[in-house]
Structure 1
Amino acid sequence: MPQPKDLDPYSDARAFYGAELRRLRERAGLTQEQLGERVFCSGTYIGMFESADRRPQQDLSRILDDLFDSGEHLQRLCRLARTSKVADYFADAADLERRARTISEYAPVLVPGLLQTEGYARAITRTTMRFSSPERVEDLVRGRMERQGVLEDERTPVVWEIIHEAVLRSPIGDHEVMARQLRHVVEMATRHHIVVQVLPFTAMKEAFMDSMVSVMSFGDAPSLVYTEGAGSGRLIEEPALVERSAQSYDLARAAALSPADSLDLLASTAEDYAKR
């Protein structure tokens, strides 16, 4: 369980939330485990909020405010701490990516966000948010590009991407955008900590998921799964469901083309787009 640690509460909103949660808990004379029992979660979970390792949750903040009789204090801090440069439904998963030891993703429709070029990301965002202002679109594109900084960090995770062949055959933006995007995937896959495989149409029975799935493992916490659909995302932490997703991912990995054959297919498809 994360132990209480000294944080600079003024370093950022999340640290301030954690410091205030710890203050209220200690004022009530409760340990992390005791508080967790009262709000139906683990003491470890409480510790992650206090140490600013997890973004606070609005529903839990409301329960805590009721327990501590603190008005809407933690709820207001939660709204401030949850401010993010990425879509709100993805913000928790983006935060966890920075702590992950391994990230194993399955992408059935789009190139995974960690491997997207700016042009590809902009084309997607313009399509999915066609009624949003150009400024909002550019904010989200910048957020996605900044998110990719996790691949440059000294603690960078091992990233394994399985991309369905349908992603290669479904143009996003114009042909030049697609050619650059697929070449970028090939380039990224030459890094020692990134593996890319393509799941071909001929292996459809192994395409076990109909939405994007990311299995993340950590050195100091249990693995979890993030799934994403159109405009929504969900974190799954139930051990049995996480294990089931991990096993299904292993089956898809076994059915996919080898890394070398996958890069050949990506490169040849890129050239096809470039010639159109």
Structure 2
Amino acid sequence: MGSDVFAEGLNPLERFGLEVREVRTGRKLTQKQLGKAVKYSDGYVSKVEAGLLMPSERFARGCDLVFATNGLFLRLLRRVEEGDHPSWFVPYLQLEWKAVRILDFSALSIMGMLQTEEYARAIFRAGQPREVPEVINGQVAARIRRRGVLEQERPPAIWVILHEACLRTVVGGSGVMARQLEHLIRMAESPNVDIQVMPFSAGAAGVHTLAFTLLVFNDESTALYVDDVPQGGRLYRSEPNVGIALENYERLRAHALSPDDSVALIKSAHKEYRS
């Protein structure tokens, strides 16, 4: 592969796409032919090659099989996953792509996968006020790339419980919040995304636990990620920890507003930010 000369200045995702395109054209395959071979659409291949979509592990393994590259694209994918993310978060990201269901409780800020670029930038800048713009830009880009999980041909079912504090805490200003809530409303219309809001009126039921995410896999095994920043999040696979979290999630869901009432509350808050 001779693209290193041309890859200077590209981020890891763009470099991955460039390598796919170079090897594909070298093998004289069209995007449609590669897509068929790895069981993805040609549109998916096009977005990956353009550096616009985070490729799945299945796609990377498929490329290695079709191109006979002996794990090269899987290794490149690992570099993409590690770029601009703290080391303690990388194991979670690798599992996130494999999940068939994602259950999230967001206590203070909106789940990363559902954040807009402006909202994410405000979060990172507030947490790292002395950091140079290039680092912040990389972190924002890495967070936005996580949307690729939702753009897979078979995306996971996502159920998010947002504490009302996520809607009322003004991150980045009223304009940023208005666009963030508009994005949430659009996401709630997706058939594989459910959003519930835990209202302030739920009282202690909504504040007894930290933010956490449960990843459920095809074999029904489950992983738990607990967000206890700034020290860094923790990933658990043991049954006692996962079982307690699943029970907590069911209780949170029971105390939250229904999905329809939740969207109505989000729309109401959205109007307030726009006024």
TM-score, with length taken from structure 1? 0.71
Q: Distance in 1 between matches of 2:207 and 2:219?
A: 29
Please state how far the C-alpha of 1:209 moved relative to its aligned partner. 4.5
What are the within-5 Å matches in structure 2 for residues 110-189 of structure 1? 110-189=109-188
The structure-2 alpha-carbon separation of the partners of 1:208 and 1:175, relative to structure 1 and needing over 3 Å to count, comes to closer
Please state how far the C-alpha of 1:271 moved relative to its aligned partner. 0.9
2:75 matched residue in structure 1? 13
- Aligned-residue identity in percent: 34
The structure-2 alpha-carbon separation of the partners of 1:208 and 1:14, relative to structure 1 and needing over 3 Å to count, comes to farther
Q: Distance in 2 between matches of 1:210 and 1:220?
A: 27
Q: Distance in 2 between matches of 1:11 and 1:181?
A: 34
Q: Distance in 1 between matches of 2:207 and 2:244?
A: 11
Structure 1 or 2, whichever has the larger Rg, is: 1
Q: Distance in 2 between matches of 1:211 and 1:102?
A: 20
What are the within-5 Å matches in structure 2 for residues 70-85 of structure 1? 83-85=82-84
1:272 matched residue in structure 2? 272
Please state how far the C-alpha of 1:243 moved relative to its aligned partner. 0.8
5+ unaligned residues in a row in structure 1: which ranges? 1-5, 16-54, 56-79
SS in structure 2 at match of 1:136? helix
Q: Distance in 2 between matches of 1:221 and 1:262?
A: 28
SS in structure 2 at match of 1:8? coil
Opposite residue 255 of structure 2, the aligned amino acid is A
Deviations 1:103-150 (A, max 9, x none): 000000001111100110011011111121100000000001111110
What are the within-5 Å matches in structure 2 for residues 200-219 of structure 1? 200-207=199-206, 209-219=208-218
Opposite residue 271 of structure 2, the aligned amino acid is E
CA RMSD of aligned residues (A): 2.1
1:237 matched residue in structure 2? 237
Opposite residue 129 of structure 1, the aligned amino acid is Q
Q: Distance in 1 between matches of 2:71 and 2:123?
A: 37
TM-score, with length taken from structure 2? 0.71
CA contact 2:107–2:207 (8 Å) conserved in 1: no
Structure 1 residue ranges, 4+ long, deviating more than 6 angstroms after superposition: none
CA contact 2:222–2:242 (8 Å) conserved in 1: yes
5+ unaligned residues in a row in structure 2: which ranges? 1-64
Deviations 1:242-267 (A, max 9, x none): 01100110011011000001001001
Please state how far the C-alpha of 1:211 moved relative to its aligned partner. 2.1
1:252 matched residue in structure 2? 252
CA contact 2:81–2:94 (8 Å) conserved in 1: no
Please state how far the C-alpha of 1:155 moved relative to its aligned partner. 2.3
